[in-house]
A and B are shown apart, each in its own frame.
Chain A
Amino acid sequence: AQSVTQLDSQVPVFEEAPVELRCNYSSSVSVYLFWYVQYPNQGLQLLLKYLSGSTLVKGINGFEAEFNKSQTSFHLRKPSVHISDTAEYFCAVSDSGTYKYIFGTGTRLKVLA
Chain B
Amino acid sequence: EPEVTQTPSHQVTQMGQEVILRCVPISNHLYFYWYRQILGQKVEFLVSFYNNEISEKSEIFDDQFSVERPDGSNFTLKIRSTKLEDSAMYFCASSERPSVGTEAFFGQGTRLTVV
Contacts and interface: CB of A to CB of B under 8 A. Distances in A.
B41 A105 contact: yes
A49 B103 contact: yes
B42 A105 contact: yes
Contact of B45 (A36, A43, A101, A104): A101
A98 B56 CA distance: 8
Contacts of B42: 103-106
Given A44-B91, A49-B103, A99 B48 contact: yes
Contact of A102 (B45, B48, B101): B45
A10 to B, nearest CB: 12
B109 A43 contact: yes
A100 B108 contact: no
Given A32-B101, A41-B108, A49-B103, A103 B44 contact: yes
Interface string A81-113: 000000000101011101111111110000000
B6 to A, nearest CB: 8
B64 interface: no
Interface residues of B, number: 30
Nearest to B40: A105
A29 to B, nearest CB: 13
Most central of B31, B44, B48, B101 by chain A CB within 10 Å? B101
B48 to A, nearest CB: 6
Contacts of A98: 56
Given A41-B108, A99-B55, A105-B41, A46 B48 contact: no
Q: Which 7 A-B pairs have the closest CB atoms?
A: A44-B106, A103-B43, A43-B106, A51-B101, A43-B108, A100-B45, A43-B107
Interface of A: 32, 36, 41-46, 49, 51, 90, 92, 94-96, 98-106
